[in-house]
Amino acid sequence: MNLLTAQAPIRVPRSGKGLALGIWRFLVVALVLMLSLGFTQLAVAQAEPDREMRTAAPSISADQWRQVRSGETDANFRDSRFDSNYNLINSSGETWRQLRNRWVSPFGLIAIGGMIAVIALFYFIVGRKRLDEPRTGRKLFRWSLLMRSLHWTVATLFITLALTGLNLLFGKFVFRTLFGDAVWAWMISASKVLHNYLGPIFGVLLVVLLISLLKDNIPKKHDWVWFKKGGGLVGKGHVDAGFANGGEKAWYWLLASVGLIVVASGFVLDFPNYGQGRDTMQWANIIHAIGALGLTAVSIGHIYIGTLGTEGSIEGMTTGYVDETWAKEHHNLWYEEVKDQAMSEEEMAAQKTGSNSGGASATKPS
Ligand code: HEM
């Protein structure tokens, strides 16, 4: 017999089995007792609704509740969970509620709905901005793979945050009535978790995107002319623009100002464990909502211009390359700097083969 592996069969002693059975019996009886107590309490509470309040706060009179609600501070009615001056009932909470429901929510609906309506009207009246000249078929390198990946990651996060944020603000009026409480409860808790966790990731990546694009977005004199001439979106004329035009720079600086305020206020809301009080949280919520709703409205304009609105723009952000004609018509000053690097499809294919076989032409145009 192998002494190392041989084991005597494990036997549960009779008394052990009895003990386990005893514990189970005890647990079942305790559970039944607890449940019956719970049901009795529920029945009593339904029969006598004030009883619970009298038990929870036996010596508080109606006058005292009125005093607490008035917002006056006094040693007797402070919330002992905080060492600040908060009252047991925070009256400014009602002001926050009014601001949020009466002003911020309607503002969001007007801004986003208004933007969609204006864009739809613009599209049906003026239509798509097509290229004036035919494409040359020669391509200019515009966005690196890294910048495209960064842009699409930030864009996806932004859209997810916008949709979950809108659900937090307006979802109950639509989905709760449509799908009922159970589905709605799942939807709102999923929205909250996504919003809370994706927010900080978006914040960090937005900062990286803004730093990478800073050099091309410094305002120049010709950007003012671009704005004065409406960006050339209407009519035939072209207006001067470098790598980024006036509109793109405006979007950039909006993200660099309002975007960062939204991120900062989001951090205040996401991490209440740093000692910020209720008033700070309330203000952070109002600032966050106004900024985020405004940005969402403007982002719809950006998405329209990048896709349906302007022929050829989306190609740069998907393939990395734009047609020479597009560059000449939309970013003429940039075109003048890089026009020598334009390549035909064949030259691009040859360059790709060269880079795949480790040839000398592996360098990408800058
Ligand atoms: C589906 C949604 C989106 C589409 C289709 C889209 C499309 C585009 C396109 C085509 C460009 C390049 C324009 C050019 O080459 O000049 C661009 C640039 C850019 N996009 Fe988007 N975009 C989207 C969402 C977003 C979002 C949500 C953000 C930010 C939160 C964003 C931020 C930017 C920035 C900062 C630039 C660079 C502009 C500059 O140079 O200043 N995009 N986008």
Average of per-residue pLDDT across 311-328: 97
* pLDDT tens, residue by residue, 261-291: 999 999 999 998 888 888 899 999 999 999 9
∠ CA 108-112-117, nearest 5°, is 140
Q: Is the model more confident about 25 or about 2?
A: 25
Please tell me what DSSP assigns to residue 135.
P
Which are the contacts of 79, defined by CB distance < 8 A and separation ≥ 6?
Answer: 86, 87, 88
Q: Map residue 309 onto helix, strand or coil.
A: helix
Q: Map residue 129 onto helix, strand or coil.
A: strand
Give, for 52, the enclosing helix (H) or strand (E). helix 50-56
Q: Residue 11 above 60 pLDDT?
A: no
Annotation: CATH topology of 92-361: Fumarate Reductase Cytochrome B subunit (1.20.950)
Sign, CA dihedral 71-77-80-81, equals negative
The pLDDT value recorded for residue 14 is 47
Q: Which amino acid is at 250?
A: A
Pick from 30-34, 73-77, 206-210, 299-303: least confident: 73-77
Q: Which atom of ligand 1 is least distant from the CA of 331?
A: 16
From residue 242, how far is each of 22, 306, 312, 333 by CA, in Å?
Answer: 83, 17, 17, 5
Residue nearest to ligand 1 atom 1, measured at CA: 303
Q: Give the Cβ contact number of residue 98 at 10 Å.
A: 11
Which are the contacts of 364, defined by CB distance < 8 A and separation ≥ 6?
Answer: 141, 144
Residue nearest to ligand 1 atom 34, measured at CA: 252
The pLDDT value recorded for residue 181 is 94
The pLDDT value recorded for residue 232 is 76
Q: Is the model more confident about 335 or about 357?
A: 335
Q: Which atom of ligand 1 is least distant from the CA of 299?
A: 27
Give, for 93, the enclosing helix (H) or strand (E). helix 92-98
The pLDDT value recorded for residue 63 is 78
Q: Residue 8 above 50 pLDDT?
A: no
The pLDDT value recorded for residue 161 is 98
Please work out whether the CB of residue 167 comes within 6 Å of at least one atom of ligand 1.
Answer: no
The pLDDT value recorded for residue 359 is 36
Would you state the structure tokens that stand for residue 32, as one six-digit string? 């039944």
Q: Residue 252 above 70 pLDDT?
A: yes
The pLDDT value recorded for residue 31 is 67
∠ CA 204-210-216, nearest 5°, is 165
Q: Map residue 179 onto helix, strand or coil.
A: helix
pLDDT band for position 48 (50/70/90)?
low
Q: Residue 201 above 70 pLDDT?
A: yes
Would you state the structure tokens that stand for residue 351, as one six-digit string? 């360059």
Q: Residue 207 above 50 pLDDT?
A: yes
Between CA 68 and CA 169 the distance in angstroms is: 29
The pLDDT value recorded for residue 107 is 97
Between CA 349 and CA 322 the distance in angstroms is: 15
Pocket perturbation via mutation, ligand 1, pick of 249, 295, 302 by most ligand atoms within 8 A of CB: 302
The DSSP string of 220-265 is -HHHHHHHHTGGG-SSS------SS-HHHHHHHHHIIIIIHHHHHH
Q: Is the model more confident about 363 or about 83?
A: 83
The pLDDT value recorded for residue 302 is 98
Q: Residue 143 above 80 pLDDT?
A: yes
